[in-house]
Amino acid sequence: MVVVMRLDASEVQISLVNEVLTSHGFGAHLIKGTNRIVIGAVGEERQLLSELGLEGMAGVEKVVPIMKPYKLVSREAHAQSTVIQVKDAAIGGQDIILIAGPCAIESYDQVLSAAQRCRAAGATVLRGGAYKPRTSPYSFQGMEKKGLEILQQVGKETGLATVTEVIDYESLQEASNYVDIVQIGARNMQNFRLLQAVGQSKKPVILKRGLSATIEEWLMAAEYIMASGNLQVILCERGIRTFETYTRNTLDLSAVPLIKELTHLPILIDPSHATGSARLVGSMSKAAIAAGADGLLIEVHPNPCKALCDGPQSLDPDAFAYLSKQLQRVASAVDRGFPTVTTAEL
């Protein structure tokens, strides 16, 4: 790290900082500027930085970290891209992965209907919420275990892999018996206990970016999971909060090439939650693939107007099938493959 001393820092203050650094095993290099002293400190800053208390010391103006705070998620440490195989889906590989299904599981018929149509259109993973973290205590909160059973059943019947969101230790334990992938939602991105619990599970996990999380915080959340033992982390950007009110959130697509540069993990885009509007999902899906995303999470509901949750942002199955064909062309234009479906399979 680099410690910038104040213009008026005294000799004593400078040597106290020096002492703290060397006593913690850092090599300290003093650079005398025209007006001020800057100290370059060489050592294991990742673990010690927050405990040195340098920023609170007299004479210190600021401390600039040099090392990135994450390690396991970093491409510097792991040059090859991670590919996570779940049934037919190789997430992070050459092919674009489509994860589709309703926001909330409402009934067996609803999920089956959505699943069959999504599969026919190229989806390889079925999504469906059993535990719904809702802003209002008066909104529908999910079917819980009953919903998981439906999801598992439909997964078996259609051959689709399945994913559902978990919201605490109990739901994680329960869901792990039914689904192929678990998801940590945006509001739980810094629920560190849940991250650790997921880290101790064997399930692949989709980690959504928090509503106002920086990319660095998001990667630190992934680091929590990996540091706890689970290396199968899939990142998913779903829009960040800004001052704009015409869209629900602002989809940060520049996160895609950045994540590809900084980490070896797969990255998905959720255009449904990001925009909050079915009318914008198509354009943003195409843009996501052109930007280099490994796949998409798209809400598809057999009858969006009757959805118990997030209807306005859901596509109906026809719209999804139409979009899928367009996505195939964009994928091809950026040298990515696309799941193909033969009638025989269906």
Site for a copy of itself in 87-146 (CB under 8 A): 133-140
Nearest to 265 by CA among 92, 46, 123: 92
Nearest approach, Cβ of residue 148 and a copy of itself (Å): 16
Residue 312 touching a copy of itself (CB under 8 A): yes
Give the nearer residue to a copy of itself in terms of CB position, either 101 or 304. Answer: 304
Question: Which tokens go with 126?
Answer: 């079925």
Give the position of tokens 């899928």: 324
For the purposes of burial, counting CB atoms within 10 Å of the CB of 130, is it exposed (0-12), middle (13-18) or buried (19 or more)? buried
Q: How many CB atoms lie within 10 A of CB 106?
A: 24
The contact mask relative to a copy of itself for 53-92 (x = CB under 8 A, - = no) is x-xxx------x-x--x------x----------------
Residue 12 touching a copy of itself (CB under 8 A): no
Residue 10 touching a copy of itself (CB under 8 A): no
Q: How far is CA 201 from CA 154, 172, 217, 232, 297, in A?
A: 24, 9, 22, 10, 23
Residue 340 touching a copy of itself (CB under 8 A): no
- Taking only Cα atoms into account, the Rg of the chain, rounded to an integer number of angstroms, comes to 23
The contact mask relative to a copy of itself for 216-255 (x = CB under 8 A, - = no) is xx--x--xx--xx-----------xxxxxxxx--xxxxx-
User: Under rule CB under 8 A, how many of the chain's residues touch a copy of itself?
Assistant: 105
Sites for a copy of itself among residues 266-285 (CB under 8 A): 274-275, 278-280, 282-284
Residue 305 touching a copy of itself (CB under 8 A): yes
Residue 149 touching a copy of itself (CB under 8 A): no
Q: How far is CA 65 from CA 31, 39, 47, 49, 165, in A?
A: 16, 12, 12, 8, 35
CA dihedral 54, 57, 61, 66 (to 10 degrees): -10
Residue 290 touching a copy of itself (CB under 8 A): yes
One residue of 297, 308, 319, 323 binding a copy of itself per CB under 8 A: 308
Give the nearer residue to a copy of itself in terms of CB position, either 107 or 214. Answer: 214
Give the nearer residue to a copy of itself in terms of CB position, either 53 or 337. Answer: 53
Give the nearer residue to a copy of itself in terms of CB position, either 11 or 51. Answer: 51
Distance CA 113, CA 82 (A): 33
Distance CA 219, CA 215 (A): 6
